[in-house]
A and B are shown apart, each in its own frame.
Chain A
Amino acid sequence: MIEYQTLYPKDAIKIDQAGNYILLVQGDLKITYELAKESHIIIINQALQDILISEEGTIKEGGKLDLTYLDLSLGTLKLRSKIKVCQDAELKVVSKFLVAGEKDIHMYYQNTGPKSSVLIDNSAIVLSCGDLILECTGDIVKGAYQSSSHQKSRTLTFKDVKRALCIPKLLIDEDDVEASHAMSCGAIDEEIMFYMQSKGLDEKSAMRLLIHSYLMLDEMVDEELKSQLEKQVEEICLMY
């Protein structure tokens, strides 16, 4: 059961052709859930103003959650996500943030039971004047034996960013587990830009292709949403 509270009536949950829950967020959002089945939640920030998204969830024994965050908004975002993953449960998180303003993101995923699995894949693009803090913690507690917690974060920065701070954390209190983190954070490789431009792409076209590649919008199932997000990317590219 998914429960959510918001001050803005425009917020909606819609279910796409693939059965995914899609939350189109227009304002502050508090979401809580306990899931025991296989679910896919996509949270898309469409707010024009500064917002706080607060999420607390539990994936109960044998449950499985695919969680996607997508944020191309220009405003400030504070995201606090805390999910407990019980015995034999699985959590897969994919996040994509386009950072033009301020994004303060703290994710905390806890393996609370044995044989639980957490897999996190974060991508962010920080544009000029963007300010990103992305802290992602995987926590395997005592007793969660044979569990796994893996995370990777990729952050691409454009010229003159304010800050791009990525903090991957692993807290491990059990011996018989698998855990890893990988992180890359840096500017676009000068050689890649030269390569793209030497084939005739100007800076904006090259940037557009790179943003698309980072956000992997082609993987979106909902065509309407996909074209809406592509339009949003176009608008942002035109601003830079």
Chain B
Amino acid sequence: MEHVLKIKDLHVSVDDKEILKGIDLEVKSNEVHALMGPNGNGKSTLLSAIMGHPRYKVTKGEILFDNEDLLSKRVDERSLLGLFLAMQYPSTISGVTNSDFLRAAINARNDEPVSLFKFIKSIEGNIKKLHMKEDLAHRFVNDGFSGGEKKRNEILQMMMLRPKIAMLDEIDSGLDVDAIKLVADALIELKKESQLGMIVVSHYERFFDMIKPTHAHVIVDGRIVVEGDEELVKKIDEDGYDWLYKELDIKPVKKDERPLVYSLGVCAHQRTI
């Protein structure tokens, strides 16, 4: 069965500031959409808004998954429908093991709890495929993980949860050359096995070259300003974005420059007993 994620005229604000200003996008099973653009122009916002992050307020537009309205659904309901977000900065959950976390996530998808034997076999196989440390299942989620380990852990979760459409936010950053190849291979295998559709945010042509995007989109100032295929990815890798700004007479959003405020805190010492 083919699955379709459809985004229509999406406007999203964060803290009353409009970040996305009308995005239209359609992603189907088996398609790989490269999402590019300068930093701070809306790529991660788009993925977070699709997943339903509470900070990102949709002010206008629609998100449909297999013709179901996603905006009325909770974050976990979107996940259970088949969406997956591999985050740029995955959270650390001290005290919760990867094994408990993943089993809970798998059980949320099934009427019957997954058998321990089946689960262990599956997680051990996938850990091996991703060349991760054997004790990963017993370690706390992302606690003490290197940047690369966190990214691989996201892919491990994806392999275990088997989504229909995956959104990968700079999954290749923090990975060394060998690890990028491993992750790319895992994505290709998943696509082959389950007709996975993907939206992939990356700044590196090398990664795109491995996973072969079928579509490419460039977001500047909250709008998709140009679309194409793998050739567009190559052109941006070679020429950057300046030609686009000139050709379309647009300017990218520059990240706010805010002063950093440090506090050393307060320490009090008083004998009261």
Which residues does A use to contact B, with CB under 8 Å?
Answer: 108, 137, 139, 169-172, 189-192, 194-203, 205, 209-210, 212-214, 216
Residues from chain B with a CB closer than 8 A to the CB of A210 are 93, 95-96
B240 on the interface (CB 8 Å rule)? Answer: no
Beyond A195-B87, A205-B104, A209-B104, is A200–B95 a contact (Cβ under 8 Å)? no
User: What is the bound-complex CA distance between A192 and B104, given in angstroms?
Assistant: 15
A-B contact pairs, 8 of them (CB 8 A): A171-B271, A198-B76, A198-B87, A199-B161, A200-B161, A201-B76, A202-B76, A210-B96
CB <8 Å contact, A195 and B74:
no
Residues of the B chain whose Cβ atoms lie less than 8 Å from the Cβ of A169 = 270, 272
Checking A192, A201, A203, A213 against B91 with a beta-carbon cut-off of 8 angstroms, the contacting residue is A192
B84-111 vs A, CB cutoff 8 Å, 1 = contact: the mask equals 1101001111111000110011001100
Residues of B close to A137: CB separation below 8 A: 273
A200 proximity list for chain B (CB < 8 A): 76, 79-80, 105, 108-109, 161
Residue of A nearest to B89 (CB): A191
User: With A190-B54, A199-B157, A200-B80 known to touch, is A214 a contact of B91 (CB < 8 Å)?
Assistant: no
A169 to B87, alpha carbons, bound, how many Å? 40
Known interface pairs A200-B105, A201-B105; A195-B91 also in contact (CB < 8 Å) = yes
Known: A195-B91, A216-B95. 8 other contacts (CB 8 A): A192-B93, A194-B51, A194-B53, A195-B93, A199-B84, A201-B76, A209-B101, A209-B104
Whether B161 contacts A213 by the Cβ 8 Å rule is no
Residues of A within 8 A of B272 (CB): 169, 171
Q: Determine if B75 is an interface residue (Cβ-Cβ < 8 Å).
A: yes
How many Å lie between the Cα of A143 and that of B51 in the bound state?
A: 60
| Contact of B118 with A by CB under 8 A | no
Docked-complex contact B90 and A212, CB < 8 angstroms? no
Distance in Å: Cβ of A14 to nearest Cβ of chain B: 28
Q: 9 tightest A-B contacts by CB?
A: A213-B95, A195-B91, A197-B75, A200-B79, A200-B108, A197-B76, A199-B105, A213-B96, A202-B76
**How many angstroms from the CA of A132 to the CA of B5 in the assembled complex?**
46
Instruction: Give bound CA distance, A216 to B272, whole Å.
Output: 33
Residues in A with CB closer than 8 Å to B131 are: none
Docked complex Cα distance between A212 and B141 (Å): 14
- B269 at the binding interface (Cβ < 8 Å): yes
| A198 and B75 alpha carbons, distance in the complex (Å) | 6
B8 within 8 A of A: no
Are B79 and A213 within 8 A (Cβ)?
no
CA distance A139 to B157 in the complex (A): 47
